[in-house]
Structure 1
Amino acid sequence: MKHAGMIGGLGPEATMNYYQGIITRYQDRQNSHTTLPELMINSVNMYHMFDLIDNKQFDETATYLANAANQLQRGGADFGFMCGLTPHVVFEQLQAKTTLPLISIIDTALQHAKRLGVHRLGLLGTKFTMQGTFFSQPFIDDGIEIVVPSPDQQTYVHDHLVTELENGIVLPETKRGLLQIIKTLVDQQHIDGLVLGCTELPLILSQQDFEFPVLDIAELHMDKITELILAD
């Protein structure tokens, strides 16, 4: 069994979801509720990270996260991961600053999208995710288009993520607003799938809300992490 290390706090709700989700998967695959995975958590300040990224201090962001990764490695972690998509904006720089192998949430999402055979995905997430290329470019390189909402809609999504969902606040009116944005992507951009590109979005949206494929990137990431924990 491998020891996993999570850079948590990205945000707190996702941290709790990952912790519980990995334990549940591990116990299901072991067919035992009296065994637990070796999982360490190093929780960082998401808002400090947001400030660094907002000010385009990407090297400082990578250093901040690398310090957390190195602490996990000193604690015995065999590999690490981040429970948020936004910090993957500096994934390559971060990996260059630590010898702890890191598992990318983007890689796991891309592999699943390829298996689904989708061609044009809508993307919701923080403004950093929707406006950047760190998530979309690997998909584009593999022939999958990524479509994002209009600038005003992006502001709506980002603001409600940061002020509500990141704090565990789930409001019906926010869900209605998000569903309307997604309907616009379907009607005007003809998407054939949707990426929940923030690990808190599953608090308010799920596959049951849609007739087309939904990529819950957190669930896919947890599947991969559990597989690696159980690897010989």
Structure 2
Amino acid sequence: MKIIGLLGGMSWESSSEYYRIINQTVNRKLGGHHSAKSVMYSVDFEEIKKLQHNNRWDEATKLMVEGAQYIEKGGADFLVICTNTMHKMASEIQQHISIPILHIADATARKIKDQGISRIGLLGTKFTMEEDFYKGRLIANFNLDVNIPSKKERPLLTGLQHENKFVAIF
């Protein structure tokens, strides 16, 4: 069994979902008391959040690279970033580690394509919806028609606002 590297903490709730789903899937496929072999490094999301919202992505990338390097040293065979938004720096992280990153947009696109769907709506953080690191990958690599709600429409979709930013529920 390969060792899964989980780069988490953005937020810890998201990371716990990744951990839970991965382990439930392994158990369902292998039965008994099987669970995934994994190594997790969790960043402090408060630091990341401040860097994101102050457009200090280089510093956030440095923290993510350090976490990925700890995971690699811990024996992981590949890396999963436990959040959509931080895939923004996936290519930079990949340059500093020798294990592959499983990109969430690729896994998402394959599931979408498997269902015969070609036109989708994308909900997420402002960064995920507005920047090209996710949406652009879906379009360029998988030929998907990707739509995002306008800034005016976003609060209407869930009715949730948190610190003046849109919160999507999946």
| Shift, 1:93, TM fit | 1.1
Cα 1:161/1:91, change in 2 over 3 Å = farther
Q: CA deviation at 1:92?
A: 0.7
SS of residue paired to 2:83: coil
Q: Distance in 1 between matches of 2:44 and 2:15?
A: 12
Q: Which residue of 2 aligns with 1:56?
A: 55
Whole-angstrom CA distance in 2 between matches of 1:156 and 1:125: 14
- Residue 146 of structure 1 aligns to a residue in which SS? strand
Structure 1 length normalisation: TM-score?
A: 0.64
Cα distance change on mapping 1:100 and 1:23 into 2, 3 Å = same
Give unmatched runs, 5+ long, in structure 1.
Answer: 164-177, 179-197, 203-232
User: What residue in structure 2 maps to residue 108 of structure 1?
Assistant: 107
In structure 2, the residue corresponding to 1:103 is in which secondary structure? coil
Counterpart residue number, 2:36: 37
- 1:66 match: 65
Contact 2:5 2:40 in 1 (8 A): yes
Q: Residue 83 of structure 1 aligns with which residue?
A: 82
Aligned partner of residue 16 in structure 2, secondary structure = helix
Q: Partners of 1:132 and 1:58 in 2: how far apart?
A: 13
5 Å-filtered alignment, 1:146-225, equals 146-154=146-154, 160=160, 201-202=169-170
- Decide whether aligned partners of structure 1 residues 2 and 80 sit closer, same or farther in structure 2, where only a CA change above 3 A counts: same
- Share of identical aligned residues, percent? 27
Structure 2 counterpart of 1:31, which letter?
G
* Aligned twin of 1:20: 20
Corresponding residue SS for 1:84: coil
Q: Which has the higher contact order (CA 8 A, sep 6+)?
A: 1
Supply the distance in 2 between the matched residues of 1:130 and 1:87 (Cα, whole angstroms).
12
Give the CA deviation at 1:9: 1.1
**Whole-angstrom distance in 1 between the partners of 2:84 and 2:116:** 22
Contact 1:2 1:38 in 2 (8 A): yes
Instruction: Show the counterpart of 2:132.
Output: 133
> Secondary structure in 1 aligned to 2:91?
helix
> Is the 1:10–1:82 Cα contact (8 Å) retained in structure 2?
no
1:127·1:155 contact (CA, 8 Å) conserved in 2?
Answer: no
Cα distance between partner residues in 1 of 2:162 and 2:76: 30
User: Is the 2:106–2:138 contact (alpha carbons within 8 Å) kept by the matching residues of 1?
Assistant: no
- 1:143 to partner: Cα distance: 2.7
**Between structures 1 and 2, the one with greater helix share:** 1
Give the aligned CA root-mean-square deviation in angstroms.
Answer: 2.5
Q: CA deviation at 1:118?
A: 1.9
The count of corresponding residues between Structure 1 and Structure 2 is 167
Give ranges in structure 2 of 5+ residues lacking alignment. none
